[in-house]
Structure 1
Amino acid sequence: MLVSHSLKFQGYEDPVGRLTGGDVDMGTMAVDGFFALSGFLIVGSWLGSPSTGRYLWRRCLRILPGFWACLLVTAFVLLPLAALLEFGTLAGFPWTGRESALSYVVGNAALFVRQFEVPGLLGGEAVNGSLYTLFYEFACYLAVAVLGALGLLRDRVWPLLGVTAAVWLFALSELLDGAQLTSRSSTLEIALRFGSMFLAGAVAARVAPRLPMGPAGGALAVLVLVQGVVLASMAATPEASTLVYVVIAPAAVAYLVLLAGASPLLHRVGSRRDLSYGLYVYAWPVQALLLLVGAATWPLPVYAAASLAGGLALALASWTWVESPALRYKSWTPAALG
């Protein structure tokens, strides 16, 4: 995802996005992988929770403190720094008012990103184009809570398979019907895509003991994924391109993510400090700031490496001072949640 964003920030096209002509590119495919992995892990989290309330409390602790801290740091540290780099002064900086730094924090605090830009800064581009996905991530958490509360997760896998099949049939019907609904609602289109990936990972979590993991399965999954991308590139519209990919790719994406996760080389990654979330929420503004010091003309590997280093530094700070302290309360549940 960071490489895809680096290409776009430097004015190049994502090669997969150029092929498909739509929203199927390296960056969004990486996010698809995150949702598939999340589906696998979150179903496990619900199964390991003593109650739905405890499950929701833990999910809130994992996503909200880091998100709120990112909004505050971005609005009142990174954006003023951007103003200094771009204009050499903070005179006229939009601290408060409509479409200001403060409204960026307040308006987006409920996870649904309503304000993407702060006019006059970063060339009018999005302050952080990655954060919008977290609303859909949390919506998936809530869907798991509902399915669990209805007794559709713990004992049998067929109810989850039924829900997944229903979502797949909806995507297929949308494709055959010319994207009548998703073309009118980007929220629905995004929810369908990420929800499909999440469900694929959730199903994998339930059938994992019976799921053969190996090079043969990986090769087959790669072939299916490539087929999905190629057929998406042949679609008549960007909306149809996305739907083709959603109909074909989720199971392959989930399998490849789990196959990578099964590698012994990755078992210790994040075992002590999980920087993945912090890197995800801070990489974009770091890349935008680097453009203000001339990164648009840097070689792509240099820009990507600098972006990774800066993102990891903020991710480490987020983990140390925000995320890890919040997670110390995961075994405590407010009385109202039981």
Structure 2
Amino acid sequence: MIDIPSALHQTPLAQAFDPRRNSVNALRLGLAGLVLLSHSLKFQGHEDPLGHLTGGDVDLGTLAVDGFFALSGFLIAGSWAASPSTARYLWRRCLRILPAFWVCLLVSAFVLLPLARLLEFGSLAGFPWTGERSALSYVTSNAALFIQQYEVPGTLGGEPVNGSLYTLFYEFACYLGIGALGALGLLRDRVWPLLAVTAAVWLLTVSELLDGALLTSRSETLETALRFGSMFLAGAVAARLAPRLPMGPAGGALAAVVLVQSLVLASMAPTPEASTLVHVAIAPAAVAYLVLLAGSSPRLHRVGARRDLSYGLYVYAWPAQALLLLVGGAAWPLPVYAAASLGAGLLLALASWTWVESPALRLKSWTPAALRRDRPQGV
């Protein structure tokens, strides 16, 4: 029988979330795996079941990315609070996202794409190393995080090299937003600045929904920013409310009901744009609550404790899956293709963590010699 008092027990988030003993890394790895599964379905010509239900961009993959952003909002708000300065905060954020991203661009352009060319044509003759819309321009055009060039003609059948990377621009933009609020002194012991920004974004979302997606139907960038920004803000607000935000099964059940309701209403929307806007107007707080409830659990705290492969899996899964298609992956049973994609993605993620991410993160406390202050003698 269900223990009703235990089910109704709620613990404040600040108490439930132990920074040293939680399941955040396991959760992020699971979310990256869900993105991989959604892409596996699409690569093999199947339809994402949730995307089919909602008729838009609210599918298993993007819902997992919603979870990433909500979790990131919570963690990044904490990262800013723990940083001695805005400059140090931004330095640490850059180290976490940029080195592995840049290496992924280089590896994709000059290792994986040539390999794909060999698998497709048996020769590198005619491979577009340089020039307009080449392997080199793929790196240089996308190096600032905003993906401007998705394809390199003559490779992968003209399909995107890596359709997952576009979200990183919005992630970093959220980092900058938190940094700006912090630099203005609007985050120290205050909740209302984040609540005000969140309310403004929500009002814009509702306005767009009522106006028939007047702006977002013309700008995919704005639509994406509203969606992921809303999720990130929900997580950041949760971080500020952590001492008073109750966490427990009852809250989780309520959040799940709200999330399901958002998906049902999204499925009833007349257009894909409206479907996304309905989801964004209703789901962020529920998504944030559910990922924080799962992430606060200590049960899987050992997963990723030494090697966090979630970021590497996210950025390398797509090109790994594309390469597997060139060796017959399209005809494999879905579980086999998904498992092979996961294995290949994890191997690349392990290489990324070992040789790029972990070494970069060791520099988080580094300060250029010119900026170091002389320390008192004897200290």
TM over 0.5: yes
SS of structure 2 residue aligned to 1:270: coil
Residue of structure 1 in register with 2:105 after alignment: 71
- Give the CA deviation at 1:21: 1.0
- Give the CA deviation at 1:337: 11
- Give the CA deviation at 1:207: 1.2
1:197 paired with 2:231, answer yes
1:44 paired with 2:78, answer yes
1:134 paired with 2:168, answer yes
Residues 245-254 or 169-178, more deviating: 169-178
Residue of structure 1 in register with 2:272 after alignment: 238
What percent of counterpart residues are identical?
83
> Tell me, which stretches of 5 or more residues in structure 1 are unaligned?
none
Q: Alignment partner for residue 216 of structure 2, among 182, 198, 202? A: 182
Once the two structures are superposed, residues 217-250 of structure 1 have per-residue CA deviations (whole angstroms, 9 ceiling, x without a partner) of 1111111111101101111111111000000000
Letter in 2 for 1:216: A
CA distance in 1, matches of 2:287, 2:314: 19
CA distance in 2, matches of 1:290, 1:108: 24
Letter in 2 for 1:134: L
- What pairs with 1:93-104 in structure 2 (closer than 5 Å)? 93-104=127-138
- What pairs with 1:224-235 in structure 2 (closer than 5 Å)? 224-235=258-269
SS of structure 1 residue aligned to 2:286: helix
Letter in 2 for 1:230: V
Residues 223-232 or 148-157, more deviating: 148-157
1:149 paired with 2:183, answer yes
Letter in 1 for 2:118: L
CA distance in 1, matches of 2:298, 2:328: 39
Once the two structures are superposed, residues 34-78 of structure 1 have per-residue CA deviations (whole angstroms, 9 ceiling, x without a partner) of 000110010100000000000000101111000000000001110
Return the TM-score normalized by structure 2: 0.87
Q: Alignment partner for residue 306 of structure 2, among 272, 279, 283? A: 272
Letter in 2 for 1:282: Y
1:59 paired with 2:103, answer no
Contact kept, 8 Å, 1:36 with 1:198, in 2: the verdict is: yes
Once the two structures are superposed, residues 126-152 of structure 1 have per-residue CA deviations (whole angstroms, 9 ceiling, x without a partner) of 100000100000000000001111111
- Give the CA deviation at 1:336: 6.9
Once the two structures are superposed, residues 5-30 of structure 1 have per-residue CA deviations (whole angstroms, 9 ceiling, x without a partner) of 00000000001111111111010000
CA distance in 2, matches of 1:220, 1:86: 50
Return the TM-score normalized by structure 1: 0.98
- Give the CA deviation at 1:198: 0.2
- What pairs with 1:1-338 in structure 2 (closer than 5 Å)? 1-334=35-368
Letter in 2 for 1:238: P
Larger radius of gyration: 2
- Give the CA deviation at 1:156: 1.3
* 1:337–1:84 CA distance, 2 compared to 1 (3 A): farther
- Give the CA deviation at 1:300: 1.1
CA distance in 1, matches of 2:263, 2:372: 44
CA distance in 1, matches of 2:162, 2:178: 27
- Give the CA deviation at 1:158: 1.7
Letter in 2 for 1:323: E
- Give the CA deviation at 1:258: 0.5
Letter in 2 for 1:38: S
CA distance in 1, matches of 2:362, 2:123: 40
Number of aligned residue pairs: give it: 338
> Tell me, which stretches of 5 or more residues in structure 2 are unaligned?
1-34, 374-379
CA distance in 2, matches of 1:286, 1:192: 30
- Give the CA deviation at 1:266: 2.5
Letter in 2 for 1:37: L
Runs of 4+ in 1 over 4 A off after TM superposition: 334-338
Contact kept, 8 Å, 1:261 with 1:267, in 2: the verdict is: no
Contact kept, 8 Å, 1:43 with 1:205, in 2: the verdict is: yes
Contact kept, 8 Å, 1:57 with 1:333, in 2: the verdict is: no
